[in-house]
Amino acid sequence: MTAKRGSRPATGAGSLRIIAGRLRGSRLAVPDAPGLRPTPDRVRETLFNWLAPWIEGARCLDLYAGTGALGIEALSRGARECVFVERDRTLQQQLRDNLARLRVEGASVVGADALGFLAGPPRGFDLVFVDPPFDADLWQEAARRLEQGWLAPSALIHVEAPADASLSLPPQWQLHRQARAGAVAHALYRRVGVDPLS
């Protein structure tokens, strides 16, 4: 949910709705950040329907967090924790403000470039959201670094990319579900291994 040119129409200042869970109906303030294109409600609803069997107690990583709507939705629905990684200072502050206002527990915000963050000491996550700027071609490098200790044995990875993009992802990432919203493709991959959260 970070800035992505050439995908959805740009979104100015406004708000997003949390769809379900403890924070259902809460609004997230969205700053007027150039190029910010949050994941639409309909796409988030579809994604979390896919994730329903695994979200409770999950350890989540929201890379390129932007508004943080995906990670906050996960926490609202029972995820244990979420680390939000966002390099834009305006978005970082708005995310922190939203988390504080809604009294969201289990959240931490890291002000860093996502690839730089992934170069640090790894820890395993059960669910990772990968939604980089569409014009930066970061999917393959992010996936490579995630495989260096950042994923639980059977982690779930949500990837958002242009529908016409040809992504070369790790062979152990098996496609679980996919959908398309206009020119944007959304796919949920499951890493080969034991069941998540087992």
pLDDT of residue 136: 78
pTM of the model: 0.88
Q: How far apart are CA 24 and CA 157, in angstroms?
A: 23
Task: Please name the residue ranges forming H helices in the chain.
Answer: 41-51, 69-76, 89-101, 114-118, 139-146
Q: Name the pairing type of β-strands 14-17 and 27-30.
A: antiparallel
DSSP string, 122-142: ---EEEEEE---TTS--HHHH
pLDDT at 4: 41
Taking the chain (198 residues) in runs of 10, the rounded mean pLDDT of each run is 40 78 93 74 92 97 95 98 96 96 97 96 96 83 95 95 86 94 92 58
C-alpha to C-alpha distance for 110 and 103, rounded to whole angstroms = 18
In this predicted structure, what is the pLDDT of residue 71?
98
Contact between 189 and 175 (Cβ < 8 Å): yes
Per domain, the residue ranges of the chain are 14-191
Query: What is the fold of 14-191?
Result: Rossmann fold (3.40.50)
